[in-house]
Amino acid sequence: MNFGRIGNADHADGIRIIHRALDEGINVIDTADVYSQGESEEVVGKALLDGRRDEVFLATKFHGQMGDNPHHRGNSRRWIIREVENSLRRLQTDHIDLYQVHRPDPTVDFDETLGALSDLVHQGKIRYIGTSTFSAAQIVEGQWTAERRGRERVVAEQPPYSILARGIERDVLPTAQRYGLGILPWSPLAGGWLSGSYLAGGSRRVERFPARYDAALPANAPKIEAVTKLAALADEAGLSLIHLAIGFVLAHPAVTSAIIGPRTLEHLESQLGAAKVVLSADVLDRIDEIVPPGVNLNPADAGYEPPSITDAALRRR
């Protein structure tokens, strides 16, 4: 997400970061059309030239607003069929390994979405279908729709998950396990809160998402308290806070791969090696004491609120 003008605008630097990750054995790259309005996909595409594409399981997403045209967004067949071609062009590839629905779209029947994605699987333009930030009920609906309508089924979900945002432990993770879905959590460092330097230096995301990242807001006070305790626990365990945080996410048996989002080479270097971290039962129990299982310390970190909650008109019509 951090490649392009909203993060690191230096394409050459982004390519260096990706190549360093590949050289260290990282073999999954996840991006989205909406990240810097296609620029992130362009950086990834450049980085995978010269034979690198076959080394990588490449994932991207659709749904978000692209440009000013109000029709250039959403989960409709019309937009999916058009936007996949744009992503293929920007990524400079003939197929996408995992094409993900970036967010739910209550205005579109999921059968329409799944039908369009199934057609793309049959055409060889995508290999697998995934979702991101779907509820447990929506995951079940997707599996039911695929079975009853003869569609290709969703095989992966990408939810927000970190020590500070554990809400998906209640239903999303058990549901994914029941249906055999892969889980690729985003933001295991809680958007920088668990980077080890957030409280000292602040976050680049404060202006864009103050509800989640402004340390001055009362809703984020529990995070400050938890981060302080977690930093002490990491020191006691002989780990960096970053490795503790990523190790925690990877420790859950439902998790397939944790998505990191380095903006600089230094960020990447600090996160490399986390996949080898194995947290003891004692450390995991201590984490549970600091942030109880199934709890989001700030509800805004759930990553998605349906229009039925955010739009007052839908509650009063």
**Radius of gyration of the chain measured on its C-alpha atoms:** 19
Catalytic residue among 35, 99, 128, 213: 35
Distance CA 228, CA 231 (A): 5
For the chain, the first-to-last Cα distance in angstroms comes to 37
Is the CB of residue 132 less than 8 Å from the CB of residue 100?
A: yes
Distance CA 174, CA 193 (A): 26
Is the CB of residue 51 less than 8 Å from the CB of residue 76?
A: no
**Which structure tokens are listed for 91?**
């990524």
Three-state SS for 253? Answer: coil
Quick check: is 128 catalytic?
A: no
Is the CB of residue 151 less than 8 Å from the CB of residue 101?
A: no
| DSSP designation for 160 | B
Residue type, 114: L
Return left, alpha or beta for 202; rule: phi > 0 is left, psi -120 to 50 is alpha, else beta.
Answer: left
Q: Name the one residue in this structure whose structure tokens are 């979405």.
A: 113
**CA neighbor of 216 nearest in space, from 291, 230, 207:** 207
Distance CA 184, CA 131 (A): 10
**CA neighbor of 256 nearest in space, from 180, 172, 184, 167:** 184
Query: Helix crossing, 39-47 with 77-91: angle to 10°?
Result: 40
Active site residues: 35
